[in-house]
Structure 1
């Protein structure tokens, strides 16, 4: 069990920042960053899947999707 805990990759602030930065570029219309978004998002999802339960992952992804929908609707109104 101790070896399993040590083998888990930690989610770093840099992982989150890279993912949000890529998402921002794609949202702004710079679709060249789409591959970076998929790569960074997949890495972040893989690390979080090691730490969280299935329920926590589903709720977290739903919350992120809800926030994204809110900001997209808000941007469309402007």
Structure 2
């Protein structure tokens, strides 16, 4: 017979290195101006936050969301800045 704590541990999705790698890779691509990866960055970041929300305290989650939001804001600003610059070709 399983205890409630072991059932809860089975329901919690583990954060695997691929989650972090995918988030960082797509964030890096967006930060370098490849705006096509913004949707991937938000998707991977959201999955990572969902998994983290099952393990972290409220304060840790707020800090994590703030960090991802600030990176997303910088990426969007950088992308819109590069889109508005005239090309001198």
Structure-1 separation of matches of 2:65 and 2:42: 15
Moved over 3 A (4+): 59-62
User: Cα offset for 1:58?
Assistant: 2.2
Gapped regions of structure 2 (runs ≥ 5): 76-89
The structure, 1 or 2, with the larger RCO (C-alpha pairs under 8 Å, 6+ apart) is 2
More helix by share: 1
Structure-2 separation of matches of 1:11 and 1:55: 18
TM-score normalised according to structure 1 size? 0.75
Alignment length (residue pairs): 68
Cα RMSD for the two superposed structures: 2.2
Gapped regions of structure 1 (runs ≥ 5): 73-78
